[in-house]
Amino acid sequence: MSQQPILEIRSLSAGVEGRPILKGIDLVIRAGEVHAIMGPNGSGKSTLAAVLAGRDGYEVTGGQVLYDGKDLLDLDPEERAREGLFLAFQYPVEIPGVNSTYFLKAALNEVRKHKGQSELDAMEFLTLVKERMKILDLDDDLLKRSVNEGFSGGEKKRNEIFQMAVLEPRLAVLDETDSGLDIDALKVVSHGVNKLKRPDNAQLVITHYQRLLNYIVPDFVHVLVDGRIVRTGDKTLALELEEKGYDWIIKEAEAVAA
Amino acid sequence: MSTATETIEGLVKQEYKYGFVTDVETESAPPGLNEDIIRLISAKKQEPEWMTEWRLKAYRHWTTMALPQWAHVHYPPVDYQDITYYSAPKQRGDGPKSLDEVDPKLLEMYEKLGIPLKERERLAGVAVDAVFDSVSVGTTFKKQLGEKGIIFCSFSEAVQEHPDLVRKYLGAVVPHTDNFYAALNSAVFTDGSFCYIPKGVRCPMELSTYFRINAAKSGQFERTLIVADEGASVSYLEGCTAPMRDENQLHAAVVELIALDRAEIKYSTVQNWYPGDENGKGGIYNFVTKRGLCKGRNSKISWTQVETGSAITWKYPSCILQGDHSVGEFYSVAVTNNCQQADTGTKMVHIGKNTRSTIVSKGISAGRGQNSYRGLVKIQKSAAHARNFSQCDSLLIGDRCGAHTFPYIEVKNTTASVEHEATTSKIGEDQIFYCNQRGISTQDAVNMIINGFCKEVFRELPMEFAVEAQKLLGVSLEGSVG
Ligand SMILES: Nc1ncnc2c1ncn2[C@@H]1O[C@H](COP(=O)(O)OP(=O)(O)OP(=O)(O)O)[C@@H](O)[C@H]1O
Ligand SMILES: [Mg+2]
């Protein structure tokens, strides 16, 4: 394909406080694609998400990340967000005292300003919110409360995807959005994510469970073990993992390395 | 220290935008304090004999008093002989009869501060008395208020024009013996505002005093007295700024409020005295005694304060709930950044039956700021069925600042109910990152969190002031995260 990828990660290594966590990641994501990352606990999945989003404390020790051809690592976290990089948090953060609607309006207007679009006023914003809320089947009561404060685990996850629906990112990274959701909620959220898929955006879905991938069907599945992508396949790889666990892949990877 | 914490602490750099000095010719007393200086102040103000005697009595008492040591603040001792107790812009002849005679430089300064004194450019619906160093330079809207029988003028004028009211109420709530700074103020106070709302009158506009310290090495000792007669009501605002100077300056004011039967007084302060620089050099020592007496039945006094300035703030706006069914309220936001220290809170003294009080205190500490809430709820034996609710929340930004809460509760009547809630939270790096990840800058994220934290207090402020206060808070904490 000749088209420039949305995201291009080249031999990325990164760590925290001098401890290496990501040890050479290569990954290319193009418009219209859905990628899944699976891997054992502690293998570095959330770390990858954090590095992409620019979280403080995660030091990049090697490699490059291009976003729409530009150096992503050069941008501040808020600039990355305004450029359309969205992270659905594995553990969404509570912000007491800050109203959810107010927060989301501020966020959306930052993105719009960045794109040179006019800011939405309260009425226009509410119309948009009402429409997007339907996609996620979200109780509008939640929007009257402080950001994530006192939300149940499932409500928090659903709220992340709702924010995604409002912000319409170009690249969405969903970190274990499925964990903590009951079966009905999982369907609603997956359905929402699918609805937000467009030919000009892309999704990177981190999960432990093949089940999610029945609903959000990935074009590629990557297996991350100890900071490296040790295997890439299509959606059948997820089924295989579900059946056999990670052991065989780890052994194979060790054999190759040896 | 992790980069995250450094980030959070980095935001503490901002400039104090009211720090300019106005170049006007002043007339000052020599520094130092003795009976002659007090006689001089009194003579300058052409005060009657009783006023001079009242001052001297306070002075003699003050010389016997020791400095209070109990507050959670630290500073080198103040040399009271090195302070100038009287400083006033030089006047031609007898002093300004109207605003037209006020030195244009002073009017210009107030414009610069956003306080236009010319009535045609006035703040919408706000009557202003402006106090510059030791004297009042002008009061707006006097005539309109006069038509309703409302007296709103400088304290000096009140002593001349309304001596009976002043004599009756001066020191009635804060006697000169009350505390060290109140005694000092009683001896040397130079000006301030006086306000009387007659029976049954609701004051049709906000009354406001704007205090400005300009001269170097001078102290400001103003005195405010507000009396709301039966069934009267008034909302009063106070704002303050000072130039940036390397040496500390003393501000020791006294405010007395008196509410008779069914009267209501709402007193709001936005205090933004110069806080000193990043390293704690300079700044105002704000040692103030504010107290309201709910003398009548069903009367109500409500204090709202937003304290962002001063090197040291030491004040406890209080309510004496004497009348049955009277109500006292205290809503406070106190910010300490860099090396600022604040020891503030309130006293609610319940004497009458069925008296009620509410305390909502929000302390924000950033940089190396130290913020203490100190509150006393005292239910006397006579105060059957008295009720109090107190809520004290602290918000920390960074990890070199401190928040302290000292609630004192004394209950002598078993039918009373007293509730106290306290929380401490921190603006976390994870919260900031979450906002950043949604496109919101760190500064905006902090402002958002802080405004959320303070909203219960902000909604008590008059509209125009609430917006002002939000902005001010933003500026005060600019640079404390980032
Ligand atoms: N901020 C941090 N400080 C210290 N160690 C960290 C930090 N972030 C990640 N790590 C460590 O890096 C490794 C990878 O963590 P990460 O959260 O990326 O794993 P994960 O693949 O997302 O795991 P899970 O499936 O359990 O969510 C872990 O050993 C973790 O303890
Ligand atoms: Mg994880």
Residue A143 has what DSSP assignment? G
Per residue in B391-413, pLDDT tens?
A: 999 988 877 888 888 889 999 99
B341 closest CA partner among B367, B360, B318, B362: B367
B374 closest CA partner among B339, B417, B327, B334: B334
| Segments in A90-234 forming alpha helices (H) | 100-114, 122-136, 153-167, 183-195, 210-215
Nearest-angstrom CA–CA distance, A77 and B431: 13
| Assigned token pair, B71 | 């507050």
Q: Whose CA is nearest to atom 25 of ligand 1?
A: A41
Strand A171-175 to strand A34-38: parallel, antiparallel, or no bridges (unpaired)? unpaired
Tell me, what's the pLDDT at A129? Answer: 92
Q: Which residues line ligand 1 (CB under 6 A)?
A: A 16, 21, 39, 41-47, 57
Residue B233 pLDDT > 70: yes
Instruction: Tell me the pTM.
Output: 0.79
| Assigned token pair, B342 | 């604040």
Nearest-angstrom CA–CA distance, A191 and B258: 65
Shortest Cα distance from A248 to chain B (angstroms)? 37
> What value does the mean pLDDT take over residues B155-171?
92
Cβ contacts of B253 within 8 Å, gap of 6 or more: B185, B192, B211, B220, B221, B222, B223, B224, B288, B289, B290
Residue predicted with more confidence, A189 or B366: A189
Percentage of residues of chain B with pLDDT beyond 70? 74
> At B260, is the pLDDT very low, low, confident or very high (cuts 50, 70, 90)?
very high
The CA dihedral of B442, B445, B449, B454, to the nearest 10 degrees, is 90
Tell me, what's the pLDDT at B11? Answer: 37
Tell me, what's the pLDDT at B317? Answer: 92
Tell me, what's the pLDDT at B220? Answer: 75
> Of the ranges A36-45, B45-54, B85-94, which one carries the lowest mean pLDDT score?
B85-94
Under an 8 Å CB criterion, which residues of B touch A? Answer: 2-4, 7, 425, 428-431, 433-442, 444, 448-449, 451-453, 455
Q: Is the dihedral of CA B19, B21, B26, B29 positive or negative?
A: positive
> Of the ranges B15-19, B201-205, B368-372, B415-419, which one carries the lowest mean pLDDT score?
B15-19
Q: Whose CA is nearest to atom 31 of ligand 1?
A: A42
Nearest-angstrom CA–CA distance, B423 and B400: 18
Q: Whose CA is nearest to atom 17 of ligand 1?
A: A46
Surface-to-core class of residue A146, CB atoms within 10 Å of its CB (0-12 exposed, 13-18 middle, 19+ buried): middle
B294 closest CA partner among B350, B237, B369: B350
Nearest-angstrom CA–CA distance, B442 and B427: 11
**What is the DSSP secondary-structure string of B307-371?**
E---SEEEE--EEEE-STT-EEEEEEEEEE-TT-EEEEEEEEEE-STT-EEEEEEEEEE-TT-EE
Q: Is the dihedral of CA B257, B259, B263, B264 positive or negative?
A: positive
Per residue in B95-142, pLDDT tens?
A: 445 555 556 665 666 565 555 555 444 444 556 666 665 555 556 677
3-class DSSP string for B429-447: HHHHHHHHHCCCCHHHHHH
Nearest-angstrom CA–CA distance, A37 and A249: 14
Cβ contacts of B339 within 8 Å, gap of 6 or more: B276, B278, B279, B280, B311, B367, B368, B369
Residue predicted with more confidence, B30 or A196: A196
Residue B218 has what DSSP assignment? B
Tell me, what's the pLDDT at B3? Answer: 35
Q: Phi-psi category of B395—alpha, beta or left, where left has phi over 0 and alpha has psi -120 to 50? A: beta
Tell me, what's the pLDDT at B6? Answer: 36
Q: Whose CA is nearest to atom 3 of ligand 1?
A: A16
- Residue A76 with chain B: CB contacts under 8 Å: 436
**Closest CB from A55, A94, A97 relative to B433:** A55
Helix axes A153-167, A122-136, angle to 10 degrees: 130
Residue entry with tokens 């800011």: A119
> What value does the mean pLDDT take over residues B335-352?
86
C-alpha B33, offset from chain centre = 24
> What are the beta bridge partners of residue A131?
none
A93–B441: do the CB atoms touch at under 8 Å? Answer: no
Distance from the alpha carbon of residue A45 to the mean position of ligand 2, in angstroms: 5
Residue B12 pLDDT > 60: no
Tell me, what's the pLDDT at B93? Answer: 46
Shortest Cα distance from A224 to chain B (angstroms)? 24
Distance from the alpha carbon of residue A244 to the mean position of ligand 1, in angstroms: 24
φ, ψ for residue B278 (rounded to 5)? -55, -30
Residue B89 pLDDT > 70: no
Tell me, what's the pLDDT at B478? Answer: 62
Q: What's the count of helices (H) and strands (E) in chain B, helices before strands?
A: 11, 23
Residue predicted with more confidence, A255 or B246: A255
> What value does the mean pLDDT take over residues B185-201?
91
The 3-state DSSP class for residue B451 equals helix
Shortest Cα distance from B429 to chain A (angstroms)? 9
- Of A12, A47, A207, best ligand 1 pocket probe by most atoms within 8 Å of the beta carbon: A47
A164 closest CA partner among A118, A141, A133: A133
Cβ contacts of B63 within 8 Å, gap of 6 or more: none
> What value does the mean pLDDT take over residues B418-424?
91
Nearest-angstrom CA–CA distance, B207 and B115: 13
The CB-side HSE value for A172 (13 A sphere, CA atoms) comes to 28
Nearest-angstrom CA–CA distance, A217 and A229: 20
- Residue A90 with chain B: CB contacts under 8 Å: none
Query: How many C-beta neighbours within 10 Å does residue A73 have?
Result: 17
Shortest Cα distance from B55 to chain A (angstroms)? 48
Find out whether B296 and B259 touch, Cβ atoms under 8 Å. Answer: yes
**What is the DSSP secondary-structure string of A59-115?**
EEEEEEEEETTEEGGGS-HHHHHHTTEEEE-SSPPPEEEEEHHHHHHHHHHHHHHHT
What string of pLDDT tens digits covers the 258 residues of chain A?
A: 458 899 999 999 999 999 999 999 999 999 999 999 999 999 999 999 999 999 999 999 999 999 999 999 999 999 999 999 999 999 999 999 899 999 999 999 999 999 999 998 888 999 999 989 888 888 888 888 999 999 999 899 999 999 999 999 999 999 999 988 888 889 999 999 999 999 999 999 999 888 888 899 999 999 999 999 999 999 899 888 888 888 888 888 777 766
Residue pairs between chains A and B whose CB atoms are closer than 8 Å: 84
Tell me, what's the pLDDT at A158? Answer: 92
Residue entry with tokens 């606990």: A41
B137-to-A235, B43, B51, B212, B223 alpha-carbon distances in Å:
80, 18, 21, 11, 15
Nearest-angstrom CA–CA distance, B324 and B300: 11
